[in-house]
Structure 1
Amino acid sequence: MSAELILHIITCNCFFLMAFVAWFNPGKVNVVANRWLGLFFAAVGCMVCNVVLFDAGLEGAYPRIVGFNELSRFALAPALYLSIVQFTTPGSKLKGADYLHFIPFTIFFLYMVPVLYFPNYQLIGGHISLPPKVNFVIGFLVRWSVNVQLLVYWVLAFNTLRRHRKHIQLIASDTVPVNLNWLKYLLLSIGGMLALFFASILFNIHLTPAGIAFGHLLGGLAIFYYSLAQKEIFPFEVSELKAINEVIVEVDAQVKPIKQRFADEQARQMRTKLESLMTAEKLYLDNELSLPQLAEAMGVSVHDLSFLLNEKIGLNFFQFVNAYRVEEAKQIMLSDKYKHLNILGIAYSAGFSSKTTFNTVFKTQVGMAPSEFMRRGKVDEGVLAGAERQH
C-alpha cells in the first residue's frame, strides 16, 4: 500500500468525521451554518473517497459508488458558500431561492440516475446509449464546470467574508473570536488548489501525489481544530438580531439616511450621556461588550445608538469602545501602580481580550506599539527626574 493511498484514506475518514461533528454540532453554535459546512465536508470526503478507489484500482469494482461520489462535486461549492452566508448574516434563514444554487447538482444527478439505479448502464466512457461525441462533450463540461463553479463561488464567499470583517466592527468591541479567520484560511487553501489545477492545465505544473495528499490532510486537521473552537457569531435575541441585520444593511449600503433619527440637540444630549456612562462605569472594561449591551445600558434602541456612533460621532462601535481602552492602557502604562504588569496584563486590564488586538488597535490610534510607548514613557520620566535633581 503506497504512502499516498494511506494518506488519502486518513484524509477521507477525517473529512467524514468533520462532517459528522459539524452536522450534530456538540457546541450548538451557528447551527444552520455548521450543517451547510457539514455538507461541504461530506462532499470533500466523497471526492477523496474516489481518489482512494482509483489509487487502489477499485473503480471498476464499485462504479456506482464512484458515480455517487462524483455527484458531490456539484454540491461542494454552493454548500460552502451558503455556510459562509449563514455564518455572516445575523438571524439568517434559508429561502427557497437558496436551493437554486443546486441546479447544476440536480442536472448532473438526472444524468447520473441510470448509472446509480440501472445495473446495465455504465459510466461516461463505457458502452452507453448516448453518441460518443455527446458523451465526450458532457465529460469535458463536467470536468471544467466543477472547477469554474468552485472558482465563482470562491469569489462570492471570499467577498462575503471580507464584508463580514467590516460588519462585526459595527456591533462587537472584540472581533477576534468572531472574525471567521479560520474560514478565510479554508478559502485560501481552496484558492491555492484551484490555482494549481489551472496552472497544471496552462503551464503543465504538477505536484507529487504524496505531497498533495499530505497537504489535504494537514489542511483538513487545521480546519477541524478551528471549527471545534468556534464561537457563536451573533449571540443575541431574535429582536436584536433583526435590528443588527438592519443596521448592517444600512451601513453596508453606504447611503446617508434620508431622515435623521433625532435632532442635533438630542444627539448632543445622548453623546454626553454615553461618554459619561463610559467614563463613570467603565463599561469598556468588559471585553465582550457589544452594541446591544451598550444600547441597553444607555436605554436606547440599537438603531439609535448605531446612528449616534456612525453618523454623529463618526466612529463605528469597535473604534469608539477601543478608543477608551487605549486611553485606559496608556494610563496603566504610565502608572507606578501597575509596573508589575507585562503587555498582556496591561491589555487585559484595559478591556482587551488578546495581545494581537491590543497591539493593532494601540498602534493605529497612538502611532506606535505599546512597548515603544512604555519605553518613551520611562525615558521621559528619567529626563524629568534628572531635571528635578539639577534644580
Structure 2
Amino acid sequence: MDTVLFNFHDLVLILTAFECLLFALLLSATNQKRVLSTAFFVGFLICHIFIPLHELTFWGKQFRIWLLDISPNLFFLGSYAYFVDGPLLYLFVRSLLYKDFKLRRIHLLHALPVALYFFHMLVSFYLQSYERREMLVETQHIAYSAPYLYFDAAGRFIRVIYAILCLKLAFTYGEQLKNVFANLNKRDLAWLKVMLVSFLGLFAWEAVLLTLKLYGNATDNFNLDLLNVIGLSGYYLTFFMLNLLIGLKFTLFTSVAAINESSPSPAAHENLPTEDKTHVESIKQTMLQTKIYTEPDITIDQLAATLKLPTKRLSQILKQDFHANFYEFINSYRVEDAKQQLRDPAGASKTITEIYYEVGFNSKSVFNTFFKRKEGCTPSQYRNKNTVPVSAQEDNNNFIP
C-alpha cells in the first residue's frame, strides 16, 4: 500500500467505510421505535467506518502524508474501534435474541479495554512533543514498538473472545427455544451460527497477524511480506463479512423470535410445590380433550393461558414431572397421536404427510426424528407392522405419553 495511490486494496477499504456509513445512516433514520439491537448494529457499523480509515491513513503512504500535514493527532482515532466492535457485536446479538435485555451499569465493564488503550496512547503518543508524534507516524515505528503491539494484539484477541461469547449465546438461545416453542424449523438459527463462526474466523485471522508481529518483535525479525499478505487478505475478508451481515440484517434478522432471558429453566433436583401436583392431571386432561398440541405454532405462553397457570410454573412442572422441555412435551403427544392414526385401518388412505400435518408437525424431518427416537423405527415401518383389523382395534383415545 506504500507505492500506489488508490490501488485496489485502498478501494476495498474505501468501499467498506462507505457501505458502513450508508447503512448506518439508513438504519438510524428508520429506527423509529428505538430498537436497542438496531442501535448496537449501527454502532458496530460505525466502528467499521473508522477501522478501514485507520488502516488507509496509517499504512497508505500518500494518505499518511496528507493527514500529517493537518495534524498527527488525527492518527489512531480509528484504532479504538478494534476494542469496541467486539462488545457491540455481542450486545447486538444478545439484544436481538432476548427481548428483556436491558443495558445496566455492569455493561460499562465492556468499555474497560478501550479506556486502558486510551490511557496508553495518552502517555506514549498524545503527550509526546509534536515532532516526536510526527516522527512516530511518519516512520511507522510506533506500530512495531512493544507497548503498542501488546495493546494492538490485546484488542484483536478480545474480538475473538467476544465472537466466542456470541456463539455461546446463539447455542444457549437455541436450547432455550425448546422451552417456548413446539416447532423450531422456522426459527432455525443455523445461518446466525454460520455467520458468527465466520466472524470468529475473521477475528482469529487478524489475531494471527498480531501474533506474528509479536513474534517478530521478540526475535527482532519481522517477515514484512507475510504480514502484508495476511493484512491485505483481512481487508477482503472484512469487506465480504460486512456485506453478508448487512444483507442478513435486512432479511433473516427480522425473523428472529426474541424470548425472555431472565427465566432460566428450573433445576431438576428442585422439589415441586405440593399445590402444583394438582395441576399435573389437569395438564394431561387438557392435552387429551382439547388436542391443543395439534396447533402448529403453539407456544408455552398459549398453553399456560389455557391452563390458567403462570408460564414459569408450567415450565417447572414439565421439567420435573414430565421430565421434558416444552418442545419435547408437545411433540411426544403429537407422536402418540400419529401412532394411533398409523395403527387405524380406517385411516389407511391417509398419507404420512397428511398425518404429521394433522397432529401439529410442520416438518417431515422433525417428525421422523422424533418418531424414530421414540419407537426405534420410521413411521412407514410402524404402520406396516402395527395395523390391525378394525374388529380387533382397541380404543386408544386416552393415551398418555
TM-score, L = length of structure 1: 0.73
Q: 1:260 aligns with which of 272, 286, 306?
A: 272
- 1:61-81 CA deviation, whole Å, 9 max, x = no partner? 236665221121111112122
Counterpart CA distance in 2 for 1:354 and 1:288 is 12
- SS of the aligned residue for 2:77 comes to helix
Counterpart CA distance in 2 for 1:24 and 1:364 is 50
Counterpart CA distance in 2 for 1:287 and 1:281 is 14
Partner of 1:195: 204
Residue type of the partner of 2:194? Y
Partner of 2:19: 14
Number of residue pairs matched by the alignment:
358
Equivalent residues of 2:202, 2:234 under 8 A apart: no
Equivalent residues of 1:325, 1:350 under 8 A apart: yes
1:290 aligns with 2:299: yes
Counterpart CA distance in 2 for 1:383 and 1:162 is 44
Compute the displacement of 1:150 (Å).
1.6
Residue type of the partner of 1:245? S
Partner of 2:325: 316
Partner of 1:169: 178
Counterpart CA distance in 2 for 1:78 and 1:360 is 38
Partner of 1:72: 81
* Change over 3 Å in CA distance of 1:26–1:348 after alignment to 2: farther
1:220 aligns with 2:247: no
Equivalent residues of 1:347, 1:358 under 8 A apart: yes
Unpaired segments of 5 or more residues in structure 2? 1-5, 216-222, 390-401
Partner of 1:303: 312
Partner of 2:147: 138
Compute the displacement of 1:147 (Å).
1.5
* Change over 3 Å in CA distance of 1:13–1:134 after alignment to 2: closer
Counterpart CA distance in 1 for 2:329 and 2:32 is 31
Equivalent residues of 1:171, 1:291 under 8 A apart: yes
Partner of 1:389: none
- 1:240-294 CA deviation, whole Å, 9 max, x = no partner? x5xx723x1x53xx4632x53235xx52x42332223223322223333221111
Aligned positions of 1:275-286 closer than 5 A: 275-286=284-295
Counterpart CA distance in 1 for 2:183 and 2:292 is 13
1:186 aligns with 2:195: yes
Counterpart CA distance in 1 for 2:14 and 2:342 is 54
Compute the displacement of 1:101 (Å).
1.1
Aligned positions of 1:314-353 closer than 5 A: 314-329=323-338, 335-339=347-351, 348-353=357-362
Q: Percent identity?
A: 18
Partner of 2:3: none
* Change over 3 Å in CA distance of 1:25–1:262 after alignment to 2: farther
* Change over 3 Å in CA distance of 1:381–1:315 after alignment to 2: closer
- 1:273-332 CA deviation, whole Å, 9 max, x = no partner? 222322332222333322111100111111221121001111111111122233445566
Q: 1:58 aligns with which of 63, 71, 76?
A: 63
State which structure, 1 or 2, has the greater radius of gyration over its C-alpha atoms. 2
Equivalent residues of 1:178, 1:232 under 8 A apart: yes
Compute the displacement of 1:18 (Å).
4.5
Q: 1:245 aligns with which of 259, 262, 272?
A: 262
- 1:133-189 CA deviation, whole Å, 9 max, x = no partner? 999343112211102222332333333333222222112223345554444223211
Equivalent residues of 1:71, 1:105 under 8 A apart: yes
Equivalent residues of 1:124, 1:135 under 8 A apart: no
Residue type of the partner of 1:217? F
Unpaired segments of 5 or more residues in structure 1? 236-240, 385-391
Compute the displacement of 1:5 (Å).
3.8
1:153 aligns with 2:153: no
Partner of 1:233: 257
Counterpart CA distance in 1 for 2:21 and 2:118 is 21
- 1:218-253 CA deviation, whole Å, 9 max, x = no partner? 332332233222235336xxxxx5xx723x1x53xx
* Change over 3 Å in CA distance of 1:347–1:222 after alignment to 2: farther
Counterpart CA distance in 1 for 2:385 and 2:177 is 38
